[in-house]
Amino acid sequence: MGRWLLLAGLLIIGGSLIGVWRGWLDVPPQWNPWAPLDVQATPNWLTGYKLMRLRSDPALCEQALGSSGLRVSPQADSPDAKCPLIGALRVQGGGVGLSSSFLASCPLAVAFALFERHTLQPAAQQVYSQPVARVDHLGSFACRNVYNRENGALSRHASADALDIAGFRLADGRAISVLRDWPKQNQDAQFLRQVRDGACEAFSVVLSPDYNAAHRNHFHVDVGRWSVCR
C-alpha cells in the first residue's frame, strides 16, 4: 500500500511539473522552475536551481540581469586571448557603490546583485541599523592559475566568475575590514560572519579566513560548478 501511495505521489508531482513546463498550469514565476530568476523577489528553494541554469543559458541570464538593478556595460569578447572572455560585463554598481568597477560573467553579476539585496543589506540593517554604502573589493578577472601556481588548474578569476571582497563601508562612513575585523569578537566580526554565511545562498563557492591563510584579508566568492562554504 505504501509503495502505491509513493508511486501515486511521484506521478502527481511529475504531472504537475510537466504541466508547469508546458504552460498548462499557471503558477507564480517564483515557483516556476523554468521562469527567469527575479533578483528582486525573496529567494526560495528554487533560487539555487535558477542560478545554476544561468551558467549554461546566456539569454536566461540576461533576463535575470534585467531585474538586478545593476549598472553594467558589455565588454568586447576576447575569444583568442589566453584567458578568453565571452559575454563579460563591467559592473559599475547598483543598490550599493563599489570601490571600483569590476569585470564579471553574467552569472557572477546576477549572484552579486542577489547577495547585495538579500544578504548584505539585511545584515547591515540588523547589526548596524543602516545600509552598506560601498563594497570594497580586490578585483575579479585575473588570467592566472589557482593561488598563482605555475602549474595547475585555472582560477575562477580567469573566467571572470569570481570576486574577492575585502570589506564594506556603511552609510555613516564606518569601514568594516575582513583583515582587521574578522579575528575580533565584536559587532563587526558578527556582521562579517553573517555576511559570509548568507553569501553561500547566492554564490556556489564562498571562502573566508576560516578556509586558509590565503583568504585572511578577503572573501572569495565565485559561481563555479563546485559548492564550498567556509
Is a pLDDT exceeding 80 seen at residue 6? no
Residue 179: pLDDT band (50, 70, 90) is very high
Report CA Rg, the chain.
19
Mean per-residue pLDDT, 91-99: 97
Contact 105, 160 (CB under 8 A): yes
H-assigned helices in 32-161? 47-54, 58-66, 106-115, 121-128
pLDDT by residue (tens digit) across 102-112? 999 999 999 99
- Compute the mean pLDDT over every residue in the chain, rounded to the nearest whole number: 91
The number of angstroms, rounded, from the C-alpha of 71 to the middle of its chain's C-alpha atoms is 16
Residue 184: pLDDT band (50, 70, 90) is very high
Is a pLDDT exceeding 60 seen at residue 23? no
Taking the model in full, what pTM does it have?
A: 0.89
Residue 13, pLDDT score: 40
Residue 29: pLDDT band (50, 70, 90) is confident
The number of angstroms, rounded, from the C-alpha of 59 to the middle of its chain's C-alpha atoms is 18
Mean per-residue pLDDT, 45-67: 96
Residue 2: pLDDT band (50, 70, 90) is low
Residue 35, pLDDT score: 93
Considering the chain, what percentage of its residues have pLDDT values greater than 90? 85
β-pairing, 219-222 vs 228-229, is unpaired
- CB neighbours of 183 closer than 8 A, spacing ≥ 6? 189, 209
Mean per-residue pLDDT, 70-95: 96
